[in-house]
Structure 1
Amino acid sequence: MGYSVAVAGASGYAGGELLRLLAGHPEFDIRTVTGHSSAGRPLIESQPHLRSLAGLTLQETVPDVLDGHDVVFFALPHGASGALTDELRNVRLAVDCGADHRLADPSDWAAFYGGEHHEAWTYGVPELLVARGADPGGADPRPAEGVGAGDLPGKQREALVGASRIAAPGCNASTVALSLAPGIAAGVIEAGDLVSVLAVGPSGAGRAAKTHLLGAELMGTANPYAVGGGHRHIPEIRQALRGAGARGEPTISFTPVLVPMSRGILATSTARIAAGIDPARVREAWERAYADEPFVHLLPEGVFPRTADALGANTCLMGLAVDEAAGRVVVVAALDNLAKGTAGAAIQSANIALGLPEATGLPVDGVAP
């Protein structure tokens, strides 16, 4: 029945979301799930909401268990998947939802993560704009000589067709990159002085017990973290915006804030409107970029999304305003960090790589209230 699938890190939040979506996918047959300290235990103990998968038992996360499947999804902390993926010999498609294969520049990895740098895989954000003349096959598609920000862009999905190794995005990084890439690609905003402030749910930090993620520490408060340029998704955002055709090195002030919602991201990103650009025409860049996209939706003028509107769905919802007095564009984007931000992007990219309809098994309807 379809493609045999293994999910490594199935006991965590990202692994659980992968399994939730994969369970409804008509072409994927979940054969194997693995965990770390939970190996040998029934999956249902870690993921009690996944009743349809109650018969599965968590196995050890080792190459011998994962090899031989058609598709393997990795939902492991950074630094954990690279050594495993190096040992795969008989896997048609591997998709890493961790950070190990996202960054093309070893110096970025050293500065923000540390440890061994593994090769960059094809970046799994299909809707991301890529400047024509760039090589979209890698995780860092830079524009070729003479290709400017105003050239008609392509999409990263072109690079995903037939891919055998895919790096799913960081949830914060893809939210910000999708928010700003249309303006960069069209040349209507400047790549310097980008600012993003994000309200994020703590599930993005994983399931491991940490004091600052306890309910008693989160309820009734908002907590900024990684302030002042220290967040690990910053080089991934810059990498994506370079690929979209940024003139000069993108600079971004990126501030995430933990808020008391279990899942979701609301990213407010602003950028200077480029010199000589009529502010009335700025919105057109985003309309052109996402007019035909099934999962990235620009809302009507004056309408802005809530995180609740994307809960459980593989959608990124955007509202856009032009602040003429400040000479800036403001983009507010909402998505579910576990769905479109991670697991949904991974499955969407896998569909493309395998030649399946891109939307197979992926919901656009959220859950409310």
Structure 2
Amino acid sequence: MKLVIVGCGGMGSYQAKKFIESGTEIVGAVDHNSAHRKAFCERYGITHSSDSFENLSAFVGLADAISCATSDISHKDCCLEGLDHGFALFCEKPLGYNKDHVNAIGDAAGKARVPAMINFSKRNIGAMHALRNVVLSKALGDILLVEIHYLQSWVLTSAWGDWRTTPRWMWRLQPSVSRGGCLADLGSHLIDLLHFVFNQVSFQESRRLVTLKDLVDTKTISLEPSLFDTFFLESSPDLPPALVDYEGTLLVGDAIPCKLHCSQVASGFDDALSLVVHGSLATVRFDSTLSRNTVTVVYTDGREETLAGPAVLSTYELFTRWVDTGISAHPDLADGIFAQNVLEDMLQCQ
């Protein structure tokens, strides 16, 4: 597969590394930031580049596919442009800025009839497949409760760079660019994992919502007044400030309650993902802070069992195989649209 990466920032660079490992040739790069684009092309030996995805026609005959690694608000236009020129599509999560955007992408992909995937990369964790197998085996008995968390702290600590000035973090907190805040960034992964394990997922209620503005108002986080309009959109009151901490309840599978928590201000957590499924006979637990390779099953009689995750193809490998051989794969655009629909219901709480 020959690929054009649209968006040469942090995610685009990570994707390039993973795609090259999967045997893909990166033949083109697109980014409006000339410094990012130049550095990206030099790093990966790319000779063809552009400053706009509106110029994707220049890559027809040179590339088989595009990867959209831009900010959320640009996904629709980037994906539609690529699909219009017959490129296979790989898109970062969430699929779009809102439901209308993702439906437009889905309609265009249906007409184009090309391979199309969304990068819900937490499915790349073999232990998640082990957990899913335990659930499907019925070894847990009747499932009583599910708990899923994705916790980070970079808005509090600036551990990955100052989000006030660093573009790759800044846009995640700008409602005009990423409408869902931590729900779009982290919650979309959680919704997809629940969809992967339980198939059915629906929103029930929101229990706790914290916005960036809440923390600035309480002086938990400092922000210069000159940046208020950038992050709080005082000129556009219809868009609420970005969520940085969210807790809510979903229903999964056969109406099983699921407690969901995602946060970018969880003190003490750098990047922690966990999924716990409680059953009448046993509980299965995945915790990335303990191991990304195994899950633990604890039975009601006190026995414990550690299960290793199977070797799985990554989303990057699956997309490459789909383009090269025609073997379809998940997560596809239908999975992206499913997650967006649940996300939209959760965002109504704002």
Q: Flag structure 1 segments of 5+ consecutive residues without an equivalent.
A: 102-108, 122-137, 139-161, 215-224, 287-297, 299-303, 310-315, 334-339, 359-369
- Structure with bigger helix share is 2
Alignment of 1:129-168 (within 5 A): 164-168=115-119
- Amino acid aligned to 2:274: T
| Higher RCO (CA 8 Å, separation ≥ 6 residues) | 2
- CA-based RMSD of the aligned residues comes to 5.2
Mapped contact 1:72–1:93 kept (Cα < 8 A): yes
* Contact 1:242–1:250 under 8 Å retained in 2: no
Q: Once the 2 structures are TM-superposed, how far is the Cα of residue 168 of structure 1 from its aligned partner?
A: 1.8
Q: Please state how far the C-alpha of 1:208 moved relative to its aligned partner.
A: 9.3
CA distance in 2 between counterparts of 1:331 and 1:78 reads 36
On the 8 A contact 1:34/1:61 being kept in 2, the answer is yes
Contact preservation (8 Å) 2:144, 2:257: yes
Please show how residues 114-263 of structure 1 align to structure 2 within 5 Å. 116-118=101-103, 164-169=115-120, 171=122, 178=129, 180-189=131-140, 190=142, 192-200=144-152, 210-211=163-164, 231-243=187-199, 247-256=253-262, 258=264
| CA shift for structure 1 position 163 | 6.3
2:124/2:314 contact within 8 Å kept? no
Q: Does 1:19 align with 2:25?
A: no
- Is this contact kept in 2: 1:351–1:357, CA < 8 A? no
Distance 1:226 1:201, change over 3 A: closer
> CA separation of 1:25/1:237 partners in 2, compared to 1, >3 Å: closer, same or farther?
closer
SS in 2 for 1:76: coil
TM-score if structure 2 supplies the norm length? 0.52
The whole-number CA distance in structure 2 between the counterparts of 1:350 and 1:83 is 21
Residue in structure 2 matched with residue 133 of structure 1 by the alignment: none
**2:326 is the counterpart of 1:350:** no
CA distance in 2, matches of 1:332, 1:253: 25
Q: Cα offset for 1:356?
A: 5.8
Deviation at 1:114, TM superposition (A): 5.7
What does residue range 305-344 of structure 1 map to in structure 2 within 5 Å? Answer: 317-322=293-298, 324=300
Q: Helix, strand or coil: the match of 2:74? A: coil
Deviations along 1:266-306, one digit per CA (max 9) or x if unpaired, are: 42322212x4x4x4xx88xx9xxxxxxxxxxx9xxxxx875
Paired residue for 2:89, among 86, 94, 104? 94
Cα offset, 1:323, TM superposition: 5.7
Asked whether the equivalents of residues 151 and 262 of structure 2 are also in contact (C-alpha less than 8 Å), the reply is yes
TM-score norm. by structure 1 comes to 0.50
The number of residue pairs the alignment matches comes to: 247
1:267 alignment partner in structure 2 = 273
* Contact 1:199–1:265, Cα closer than 8 Å, also in 2: yes
